[in-house]
Amino acid sequence: MKIVGIPGSNANHSYNRMLLEYMSKAYEHDMTVVDVRNIPLFNESAKETPAAIKEMSDAIEAADAVVIACPETDHSVPSSLKSIIEWLSYQLHPFTNKPVLLVGASTDAQGSSRAQVDLRDVMISPGVNARVFQKEDFFMSFAQNLFDENGDITDPSTIKFLDKCLRDFECFAIANDEEVKMEEEALAKAEKEAAK
């Protein structure tokens, strides 16, 4: 499965980027982690979409699924991530019908659970229209204690939970692909009937 990983933080040191990079090397999927550190804030008046956003949109379009690693800022989604989603739902719409898994890492006890609740609402909103995996989210508490110097997760129970989330998400992504095809076929048939 071809996956695009989007870090929700534009910080130079990000546990959420580390989480995605761990996932990209620990699992068999073809996963590309995009760099979000130099993307300008969304500007509705901008005459052109930034090149980095166009590249990200193309990568998402070509992927089978997306994993978003969301930190938590003031109990919500950080502005840098919200801005990226705004760019990708204004003139471009690569998330439409795309299966999305929400994950997150945080240095406090609650992880990124509250931000992920907000992010779910954002991702299913009109203009974004992603197919967000609903069964469970992965969030990592006290992330500063769970990575070694090589960026590998050291806690067996955390790895086990991440394994399960990814297995379940893969099944969801496959089923979603079949469902989208059926919906497109039904829509095409209805349009054909209406044109008679």
164 pLDDT above the threshold of 90: yes
Give the homologous superfamily in CATH for domain 2-195: Flavodoxin domain (3.40.50.360)
The region of weakest confidence among 11-25, 142-156, 169-183 is 169-183
pTM for this predicted structure: 0.91
Residue 3 is predicted with a pLDDT of 97
Q: What's CA 143's distance to the chain center, in Å?
A: 19
Q: Return the percentage of the chain with pLDDT > 70, whole number.
A: 100
The overall average pLDDT reported for the chain is 92
Closest CA to 104 of 128, 87, 81: 81
What residues does each domain of the chain span? 2-195
- Is the pLDDT reported for residue 196 higher than 80? no
Percent of all residues in the chain with a pLDDT value above 90, rounded to a whole number: 68
